[in-house]
Amino acid sequence: MKTYQYYLKRIGEYGSVREVHYPIAQVVGLPHVKAQEIAIFEDGKLGEVFTLDKDQIEILLFSKDPVKIGTQVTRTNTTISVPVGKNLLGQIINPLGESFFAERKIEGLKDSVELDHEVKGIADRKRIRRPFSTGISLVDLLLPLGKGQRQLVIGDRKTGKSSFLLSVIKNQILENALVIYAAIGKKKSDIKRLQEFFQKEGLLASTLIVASDASDSPSLIYITPYTAISIAEYFKDLGTDVLVIFDDLSTHAKFYREVALLGGRFPGRDSYPGDIFHIHARLLERAGNFKHDVKGEASITALPVVETIEGDLTGFISTNIMGMTDGHIFFDSDAYYKGRRPAINVSLSVTRVGRQTQTPLKREINREITAFLTNYEKMLTYSHFGAELSDKVKTILKTGQKLQIFFDQHYKLIVPEEVQIILLSLIWLNTLNELANEAVDTLRTRLIELYQDEEKKKMLKDITRSDTFHDLLLKVAKKKEELLSLINVQSQSSNVKSTTKI
């Protein structure tokens, strides 16, 4: 950005600050100014034209300090844009494209993108058909996602949402996607901790963090997610699949509400301005699966985060964003306090797009497991009868318990799809019912280790290459002893009669 004197000489008009309600400055003058145009003050501070009235204009200040009344301002005839390029990867930047901690420009960025532009229509988009793998068994099998999907991650504070997102990031980078993390109004310590996690896991080279500090101007915090999605569009146009995380949009809405109220906007429900739905909808509609001239298609998958209070899903911002996304994953505090990890409430979660990306086998597994878990929840009410239970009910309870352990997963653990399916099949065949609960974790760890060996990996892929769940179970049943011997677990089938569901 050039100096105030440069733009004053070039444009030839100026205004002056009449009133300040930080972060809004009311300015008179500038007769030819346009909405969303960048303004520069004589002390070098930047702002964006927020509203145009007959007698004055309102400018959003991006600086941490307010301007003084009487300060001169001129327009630049440009809108907000950020520099882009592959050198951004591995960096932490503020919403204006500058280095977050060092407050300096990043070298080698020759291109730039505008933060606000016309969104590509349906003619430029493609049907979502490619699965978006998270490496988390519960999500991949029961709440599948697709590349280009917009999936809300919602729940109370401290219920494991961030841990879930870090797992997803790790798995997507292993699948050669790029990740852009929009940290909206966070503490500097949280942003630093995020950077350290990426460094420790070796993920930094494929990530970009767009961050705004809680002490930044509300205007700067407001544009944070728009910077993230604009940079995501740049990489998408290069043919790369991009994951964008907006953490979180409830904070974003609060800061926008602050700006709108100071600007005199009429308050609506919960004092949010009337255009709050539009603000988030025009952000999220920029994600999707798009046509690409070289690669055929390239996607932007969006995971917006919303924080609830006491598990209330009916909040204004929550329901707004539910209405504009392709589903939501609900993190339940009750499940979290019971020790479930991830603490996802499957019955209150929805995926509207992901199932169309699944193979017929995975769709059938999804139906079978969902129906079984519903039945298992009913059977739990009879568990207090103990020895009086029938063998069928006992088997359901044992299998259900093993499934719950199977779906419990540490956030640093990434489980490949083939490992998920084979371990699930072994549980479904009641192979593990007579083993200790810890055997499920042991099996999973050993299978993941085997998956690193190309020969064993091919064998696991061959087993899971089935058209139906029935065919899969037959294959696993035939290979059961071989699988158990590979993973050093002694089969109990010689001592215990195994009741299978083939």
- Sorted by sequence, the CB contacts under 8 Å of residue 247 that are 6+ apart come out as 162, 165, 181, 182, 183, 184, 186, 305
Side-chain half-sphere CA neighbours of 128 within 13 A: 25
The closest alpha carbon to 418, from 132, 177, 137, belongs to 137
- State the virtual CA torsion across 45, 286, 177, 296 in degrees, nearest 10: -130
Give yes or no for a contact between 382 and 314, defined as CB atoms under 8 angstroms apart: no
The closest alpha carbon to 133, from 114, 121, 146, 120, belongs to 146
The CA-atom distances, in angstroms, between 9 and each of 39, 170, 350, 363, 432 are 14, 50, 56, 65, 79
352 is catalytic: yes
In one-letter notation, the amino acid at residue 1 is: M
CA-based radius of gyration for the chain? 27
248 upstream amide cis, omega within 30 of 0: yes
- Sorted by sequence, the CB contacts under 8 Å of residue 269 that are 6+ apart come out as 316
User: Tokens 């949009």 — which residue?
Assistant: 249
In one-letter notation, the amino acid at residue 422 is: I
3-class SS of residue 11: helix
User: For the chain, how many residues are written?
Assistant: 502
Side-chain half-sphere CA neighbours of 353 within 13 A: 24
Give yes or no for a contact between 157 and 331, defined as CB atoms under 8 angstroms apart: no
The closest alpha carbon to 92, from 83, 82, 102, 81, belongs to 102
Cα 1–248–321 angle (5° rounding)?
Answer: 110
Give yes or no for a contact between 432 and 439, defined as CB atoms under 8 angstroms apart: yes
Give yes or no for a contact between 39 and 59, defined as CB atoms under 8 angstroms apart: yes
Region of residue 327 (phi > 0: left; psi between -120 and 50: alpha; otherwise: beta) = left
Q: Which of 282, 352, 355, 363 is catalytic?
A: 352
Residues forming the active site: 352
